[in-house]
Structure 1
Amino acid sequence: MNVSEASKQTGVSTDTIRYYEKEGLIPIIDRNESGNREIDEKILRRITFAKQMRAAGMSIKALKQYIDLVDDSEDNTVRQKEILREQVAAMEERRDDIQFAINHLNYKLEHYEDHMKATEAELRELEKK
């Protein structure tokens, strides 16, 4: 199948598929006589894997390290788990930051009349000076 068909099947844009190939997240895709990429099941599975790991928040750099370990003939389980643990920690930190922001906004909503209105009035006064 071509890149457009693979894009439809995986939900990954054609540009992203080309980027994944360029970055080594998926193997180099064979081309037909016309120079068009010919994507097989192996490549589709790699595209889907990369998409899932990116959706889990993994950076391109970390994903490349992980995939290199997967492709290595050695048993890299320890390092692969380490990368996954690092990813969990990073996502938990992002979650905590998001939760802090949500709590802050909820506080602002709950105290809009007695806090936000006064703060906004102060900001307007400062703009007049």
Structure 2
Amino acid sequence: MKKNKIIYWITTSIIVAFDALMPALTFNMPLAKEGISHLGYPDYFRIELTIFKVIGGIILILPMIKPRYKEWAYAGFGISLIAACVANWTVDGFSGNAIFPLVILGILIVSYVYYHKTKYILIREKNN
């Protein structure tokens, strides 16, 4: 059980750092603005995406949030990472910019699997 919790918290922390904290700190920098416009998105999309990523990160990292909301946050991050891969691949071809979101998606999947493993163990312990 301890191993499952450690894996869950490490992977979830990585997701929150890369996909919520970093965008929150850098969304207004020239490189971020240029990256969004380079992919063909309007500038307001950068702000919307950052707001939703920060909300999703808060939902994932706080343990008292209901599982239903965590499921939506996982789905939202998954969709945004797949969309990032497709957008980068379409505009720049298959490169590191297209692969990196898939690496983060892999970490997100591990976090999701271990979230359910830890949740199942807690439910099982309550029933015993």
Question: Same fold judged by TM-score > 0.5?
Answer: no
Q: Which has the higher helix share?
A: 2
Shorter-chain TM-score: which interval? 0.3 to 0.5
Q: Indicate the structure whose relative CO is greater, using CA pairs within 8 Å and at least 6 residues apart.
A: 2
- Structure with bigger gyration radius: 1
What is the TM-score of this pair, normalised by structure 2? 0.36
What is the TM-score of this pair, normalised by structure 1? 0.35
